[in-house]
Amino acid sequence: MEKWQNQTEKQMLEQIRSSIGKVQFPVDSYNEQIMNRIEHMEIKRGGKLYKKTLASACVAVMIGLGTVTAGFISPVWADTLSQFPVFSSIFKHMEDPGLKLAAEKGLTTSPNMSVTKDGVTLSVTEVFYDGTRLAFGFKREGVMDERVQAQITDHKTHDFDQSTKGMVGWPVVTLPSGEPVSFGSASTGDVHGQPHTLLLELNNLRNTAALGDEFKVDIQVPVAQIAEPFEFQVTVKKLTEGIINLTPDQGASRGSFHYRVKNLDITPVTMRLIITSEGEVPASPEQTGEYAPTEVFYELVDDVGNVINPGQMGYGMGKALRHPILDNIYDVFPQKPKTVTVRPYTCTFDSEFNLLLDGNGERLKTYYKELETTIVIP
């Protein structure tokens, strides 16, 4: 099929008419309503944004008439819809390497579920789950403001600023049992460069393993100035190929400090490292007096020298902080590694809790060679 950007306006109109004519809608009048919308667009055409607006308008009519389901969408129309921005992958254009890779490899699912309330439409467009993280992409329509995420005013209660209608609060995801999905870290917010889109990502999952490779979750999304939350029931399908789950239980010691790698999970798009430790954080001679080490960080190095640090790194405002358990998410290596070396290091605080930087403005790292441990990947 010829791409939209390579077609003339007349060819585009004819293709849309032809595609709609082949769709078997549950209500006969749907075809007529969409055709009327096309004619309206044809009369008002003009300007460089016409083609994009026309395509979006046709999809908007479809969504306005109800959820587009696979049960009555022909392959021709599904292929046509896949070229429209509203149905495009959110993950594919993200800065997050893992989710971007998942979308590029076709490892995500696209429920394309939509709910409309009081003129605002919210859709779940994309889902990814690999046992370690669960991510959802959302698309919002019916609001002029391109921003989607409202300011969260209370992170404990998830209260949010409701001064602008249509702004979205923190989505809540629950399991079939009714309990919330438990996680170690989470993030939500607008997707950079993609107006009217939102990402929800739950990492270091704790209570989904027993549910198997496919299960349903309920999502409630509060929206400003709309009384009831938008509700979705989404089927989550686990990525099962290329999963490596290791429990090496190996580590190293330096002085009183000792750590062990309890779990190393590798999927095609994510790595998860769980470490337990005890004892005093090691310090170099340079980390004394007015200086002190930070907590211990762990970077991963493959057998050809690629280095990866945790995806989310924070610095506790305390010197030599100890963490009995660390559960970190990492991006994957370019290729499946033969070995993964865990390389512990600390950074350095001065007396005012400023991090010391090297000549390139990067964090000054202090490595401890004797603390390295290498895990063989089967």
Asked whether the predicted pLDDT for residue 137 surpasses 50, the reply is yes
Query: Higher confidence at residue 359 or residue 8?
Result: 359
Is the pLDDT at 10 greater than 90? The verdict is: no
CB atoms within 10 A of CB 20: 21
- Could you give the CA distance from residue 117 to residue 94 in angstroms, rounded to a whole number? 28
Predicted pLDDT at 371:
98
Q: pTM for the whole thing?
A: 0.72
CB hemisphere CA count around 374 (13 angstroms): 11
CA-based nearest residue to 233, from 243, 214, 220, 246: 220
The encoded tokens of residue 254 equal: 């330096």
Beta-strand (E) ranges in 238-308?
244-246, 250-254, 257-266, 271-278, 292-293, 297-302, 307-308
262/267 Cα distance (integer angstroms): 17
The beta-carbon contacts of 229-232 under 8 Å, at least 24 apart in sequence, are 230/115, 230/117, 230/122, 231/115, 232/111, 232/113, 232/115, 232/124
What number is the average pLDDT over the span 24-52?
41
> pLDDT grade, residue 112 (50/70/90)?
confident
**pLDDT score, position 318:** 79
- Which segment of 27-36, 91-100, 244-253, 296-305 scores lowest on mean pLDDT? 27-36
Query: What residues contact residue 314 under an 8 Å CB cut-off, 6+ apart?
Result: none
Q: What is the pLDDT of residues 289-339, one digit of tens each?
A: 999 999 999 999 999 999 999 876 666 667 889 999 999 999 999 999 999
The mean per-residue pLDDT over the stretch 8-37 comes to 46
Give the residues across from 219 on adjacent strands: 173, 232
Please say if the pLDDT value at position 23 is more than 70: no
Find the helix or strand (DSSP H, E) in which 188 lies.
strand 185-190
Query: Phi/psi at 172 (nearest 5 deg)?
Result: -115, 130
pLDDT, tens digit, for every residue of 252-298? 999 999 999 999 999 999 999 999 999 999 999 999 999 999 999 99
User: Cα–Cα distance between 60 and 183 in angstroms, integer?
Assistant: 35
Q: Pairing mode, if any, of strands 366-367 and 307-308?
A: unpaired
Q: Looking at the predicted structure, is the pLDDT value of residue 209 above 90?
A: yes
Q: What is the pLDDT of residue 96?
A: 85
Q: What was the pLDDT predicted at 308?
A: 95
Looking at residue 61, its pLDDT comes to 39
Percent of the chain with pLDDT over 90: 69
Closest alpha carbon to 137 in 129, 126, 149: 126
**pLDDT tens sequence across 183-196:** 999 999 999 889 99
pLDDT recorded at residue 88 = 66
Mean pLDDT computed over every residue of the chain? 82
What is the mean predicted confidence (pLDDT) over 241-254?
96
User: Looking at 12-21, 31-40, 84-93, 285-294, which range is the least confident one?
Assistant: 31-40
Q: Check if the beta carbon of residue 330 is closer than 8 Å to that of residue 313.
A: no
Of residues 6 and 197, more confidently modeled: 197
In this predicted structure, the answer to whether residue 20 has a pLDDT above a threshold of 60 is no
CA distances from 264 to 250, 344, 346 (A): 11, 15, 21
